[in-house]
Amino acid sequence: MAKKPPANLKEERENTTSRVDPTVTLVINPSRTIPAALRSRVKEELDDMERKNVICKVEEPTDWVSSMVVVEKPNGKLHICLDPKHLNKAIKREHFQLPTIEDITTRMANAKWFSKLDANHGYWQIPLDEESQLLTTFNTPFGRYCYTCTPFEEHDRRLESVLERCEKINLTLNKEKCEFKSREITYVGHKLTENGVKPDEVKVKAINEMEAPTDKKGVEKLLGTVNYLGKFIPNLATIAKPIRSLLKKEIEFQWSFKQQKAFQDIKDTLTKDEGPVLKFFDVSKPVTISCDASPTGLGAVLLQDGYPVAYTSRSLTETESRYAQIEKELLAVQFSLDRFHQYVYGKEVIVESDHKPLEMIAKKSLALAPPRLQRLLLRIQKYNYTIVYKSAKEMALPDMLSRAPLPETDEEVEKEINLHVHLVSSTLPASEFKLQEIREATKSDEKLRTLLNIIQNGWSDQRESVPLSVLPYWNIRDELSVIDGIILKGDHIVVPLAMRKEMLQRIYHGHMGIKKLKRRARDALYLPLMSKQIAEMVSKCTVCLEHRKENIKEPMIPFRVPTIPWEVVPTDLFSFNNSDYLLIVDYLSRYFEVVTLPDTKSSTVITYSKSIFSRHGIPAEVVSDNGPQYSSREFQAFTESWEFKHTTVSPLNSQANGLAERTVQTIKDILVKSKKDQQDPYLSLLEYRNSPIDDVGSPAQLLMNGRLCSRIPQTILQLKPRVLDPVDVKKKLNLKQQKQKFYYDRQSKSLT
């Protein structure tokens, strides 16, 4: 029978209960054979444990029986425990995160005195309830036993507090393992001193006395032991590289001079002088991360007061090694911040990099970053960091770490970036034929070929060192990236020289005037000196020159700016080329709908208005002139049944419905110019709707929170919905309206 917990365990210590998953198959293990020389000693130890009420005899049937394991301690005593391999699969655990050595050392700043306490048979002092005791039943040559408890084992003020707690719950300590007020102590493989953290001499000695491996498994064991000390030695990965190469599948194991020299170098590095020391992290001091990326890896060091607190490095995957240099450098920033998360999260941290474009791009809007960088920038937004440029000669340590990375990689980040980039590249709203044409033109363009190579390998820090052919891109170098052979500025395609004329002609399709054409071009594509080329095209266009307006203007009477899109919509009827048209335009966004009418009856106008309202919603107010179509009883009934306000203006005062009048003229201009230029008028109307209104956004963006897909190649990021701040939009439109009135009135005069 299982027994009650030992009497010397006070009531303050609660019994531990183990719960079992009933779906796991029960296992009863047979008794293992004990060497004859140990048999009597094992029996003595079992009897001693039974006298101390640590274990008790089990006579009744039990569901679980584990095997006994006998281990000889360094002091010659036997340690008896059970092998719970099968039982562990069935135990339902209450998860508790044990602190790591890093968690502990971050609280060691300014520590000078150390104490170490070891509970005497610590786990024996944690009682089990009767049901849980039977789960620990184990087989021995002398019968079955079960445990009655679990079977596995400022300075003075803190020490006193711990000792008082031990006394209160009657927890005894192992005198032989306790140390009090020492200048240094060894704890979980680390030596804690007043100067910082050092590797445990026992582990160093184990490596120093280790024989050379004879097979790949031996190499894995050696590297596993050595990598445990990697945090102390910045160039360990470089030294161990010849040894690590033996783990490659295609390499046959052969321990040569290179491997032996590397092995000896590791031993020498660990044993020379007093060995490497890392400073304790001090939460009250500023934090600096110095990081770098090489062609093969990433490296970083965490610094306080110029002294190293921790080192880290990792290898680049095959895909990451093909990243552009700016992408590798930002990947190094993301890797170092994540690796040192417990040190830097919630603190201001300076990140030093020898890649100057990073310093600039970190200060810009996320939308201006190349697509590959956007995902990384999003991952590190949770940190309060500032990227500071340091020259390469000041970055020797992280540079060495990156060129000697540990063999681990981060496939999660790589997958995220590739997924994001695939989303951009696979959804470019242009045919694969057109995209391939852009790729081929980029390859054939000598300047863009040079630019692509510089983007991949990194820009020089000195403008004077950059080839003259790519100098026009110098000021935007931090916004450039390459996706699938196409160069992007942010999310805008950089147009090759051979295709610039074609792209400019597509933008020019609607003959919208210099300002609007420039805004449309900047919103869709990128090519150097684009504004100058558009101005030249307009100045030489006979269609634009012929239809240039030179009428005398009256002073402007601005209309109030609505709060939301499609709140106030002016409407008008007009004729062009023997056809009648209905126009409805949104006052806030300037987005218009224009349809051809079979006739101009009031019922027809109402039917087509309903069709437009069914797509965009019922406006709060409709503004029109006093034409018979709008003053009829039918239209009045329409306003009442659809519940919107109808405001009419005098036909003698065209400015009262000025937006509709101006939009009618714009549409007529587009139709006339398209006809003379033999262009599709609908494509021209599309480009007009996509053209930004100054810095506010295009009509399509303001009404639909997104651009419209057109024949001009754009990335998916340009077409994604982007909700604009209505307060900001209204403020900008009011300011634009005031400016328009000011400049308009300077060239006008009152006719009254």
pLDDT in tens, 517-529: 666 666 667 777 6
* H-type alpha helices, 199-294: 201-208, 216-227, 236-244, 257-271
What does pTM read for this prediction? Answer: 0.44
Checking if the pLDDT of 559 tops 70, the result is: no
CB of 229 closer than 8 Å to CB of 203: yes
Q: Which residue in this structure is represented by tokens 């965009």?
A: 616
State residue 299's pLDDT score.
81
Lowest mean pLDDT among 356-365, 431-440, 449-458: 431-440
Amino acid at the residue 29: N
Checking if the pLDDT of 608 tops 90, the result is: yes
* Size of the chain in residues: 752
- Name the CATH superfamily, with its identifier, for domain 287-397: Ribonuclease H-like superfamily/Ribonuclease H (3.30.420.10)
Tokens of 701: 């963006």
CB of 304 closer than 8 Å to CB of 282: yes
pLDDT band at 219 (very low <50, low <70, confident <90, very high): confident
| Alpha carbons within 13 A on the beta-carbon side of 507 | 33
Percent of the chain with pLDDT over 70: 64
User: How is domain 12-101+124-171 classified at the architecture level of CATH?
Assistant: Roll (3.10)
Checking if the pLDDT of 633 tops 70, the result is: yes
Q: Does domain 199-271 correspond to CATH entry 2.60.40.3880?
A: no
Burial class (CB in 10 A: 0-12, 13-18, 19+), 591: buried
* C-alpha radius of gyration, the chain, whole number: 39
Closest of 68, 58, 69, 62 to residue 27, by C-alpha: 62
Sheet containing strand 196-199, strands side by side:
184-187, 190-193, 196-199
The DSSP annotation for 50-85 comes to: HHTTSEEE--S--S-BEEEEEEE-TTS-EEEEEE-H
What is the SS3 string spanning 517-569?
HHHHHHHHEECCCHHHHHHHHHHHCHHHHHCCCCCCECCCCCCCCCCCCCCEE
Checking if the pLDDT of 571 tops 90, the result is: yes
Question: Which ranges in the chain are annotated with CATH 3.30.420.10?
Answer: 287-397, 568-738
| Alpha carbons within 13 A on the beta-carbon side of 630 | 19
Q: Quick count: other Cβ atoms within 10 Å of Cβ 553?
A: 12
pLDDT band at 610 (very low <50, low <70, confident <90, very high): very high
Task: Give the span between the Cα atoms of 570 and 80, in whole angstroms.
Answer: 91
pLDDT band at 474 (very low <50, low <70, confident <90, very high): confident
Task: Give the span between the Cα atoms of 134 and 125, in whole angstroms.
Answer: 17
pLDDT band at 423 (very low <50, low <70, confident <90, very high): very low
Q: Which residue in this structure is represented by tokens 């783990």?
A: 247
Question: Which ranges in the chain are annotated with CATH 3.10.10.10?
Answer: 12-101+124-171
State residue 750's pLDDT score.
53
Tokens of 184: 């240094």
Task: Give the span between the Cα atoms of 514 and 691, in whole angstroms.
Answer: 12
Tokens of 13: 């210590």
State residue 538's pLDDT score.
66
Checking if the pLDDT of 333 tops 90, the result is: yes
Checking if the pLDDT of 156 tops 50, the result is: yes
Tokens of 186: 């060894």
3-state SS, residue 187: strand
Checking if the pLDDT of 166 tops 90, the result is: no
Percent of the chain with pLDDT over 90: 9
* CA distances to 367, 410, 506 from 421, in Å: 14, 17, 27
Compare 30 and 123 and report the one with higher pLDDT. Answer: 30
Task: Give the span between the Cα atoms of 738 and 277, in whole angstroms.
Answer: 67
Instruction: Give, for 714, the enclosing helix (H) or strand (E).
Output: none
Task: Kindly report the CATH number that applies to the domain delimited by 568-738.
Answer: 3.30.420.10
Closest of 121, 125, 148, 124 to residue 9, by C-alpha: 125
Lowest mean pLDDT among 32-46, 446-460, 539-553, 672-686: 539-553
What are the phi and psi torsion angles at 128 (to 5°)?
A: -110, 150
